């Protein structure tokens, strides 16, 4: 049983490693100034014209953040696996599920706080002109992902809170 749990956690870690970089919704997928944003500034990053030195600083900052959040990410993966196991029981224990869900929520909040601090540090790398440009861009886009903000026009497509078609839960 212990080997199965370790294998499940290892697979979950590999499957979610791209998401585990604390890149929440609406903040861009990558670390470079290429298509699709990057550096945590969403679609605005491509227009900032970062210097090679700034890109290097951003990459170093991202690596540092990734390493600092490793323990929290691992704990979050483990708690999520435990929560899925609790839900999979024939007769789920409400108290145990609620307790485990609180642990998951606390870890998510910790990750979000670490992500905010990281983004603020990344913003500090920008020149005053780039910061103004970023501020203008974010105010235009609403600083949100697809489907939200001034240009989005409503809710975006994607998985929501409900069970959806077929009533098949995520776990």
Domain count across the chain = 1
Q: Residue 112's domain is classified under what CATH number?
A: 1.20.120.1490
Q: Is residue 150 part of a domain?
A: no
| Boundaries of domain holding 123 | 51-127
pLDDT reported for residue 152: 45
Query: What's the distance, CA 34 to chain centroid?
Result: 19
Q: Is residue 36 part of a domain?
A: no
pLDDT bucket at 165, cuts 50 / 70 / 90: very low
- 117 vs 72: CA distance, rounded Å: 15
- pLDDT of residue 135 exceeding 70, the answer is yes
- 57 vs 142: CA distance, rounded Å: 26
Which has the higher per-residue pLDDT, 139 or 89?
Answer: 89
- 31 vs 39: CA distance, rounded Å: 5
Task: Identify the CA nearest to 107 among candidates 136, 74, 81, 134.
Answer: 74
């Amino acid at each position: 049983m212990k080997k199965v749990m370790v294998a499940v956690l290892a697979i979950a870690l590999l499957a979610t490693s791209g998401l585990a970089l604390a890149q929440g919704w609406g903040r861009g997928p990558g670390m470079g100034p290429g298509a699709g944003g990057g550096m945590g500034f969403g679609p605005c990053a491509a227009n900032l014209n970062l210097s090679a030195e700034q890109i290097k600083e951003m990459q170093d900052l991202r690596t540092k953040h990734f390493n600092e959040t490793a323990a929290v990410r691992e704990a979050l993966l483990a708690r999520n696996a435990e929560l899925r196991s609790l839900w999979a029981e024939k007769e789920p224990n409400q108290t145990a599920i609620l307790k485990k869900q609180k642990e998951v929520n606390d870890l998510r909040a910790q990750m979000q706080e670490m992500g905010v601090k990281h983004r603020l540090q990344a913003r500090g790398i920008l020149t005053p002109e780039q910061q103004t440009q970023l501020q203008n861009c974010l105010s235009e886009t609403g600083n949100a992902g697809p489907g939200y903000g001034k240009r989005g026009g409503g809710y975006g497509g994607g998985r929501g809170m409900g069970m959806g078609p077929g009533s098949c839960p995520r776990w």
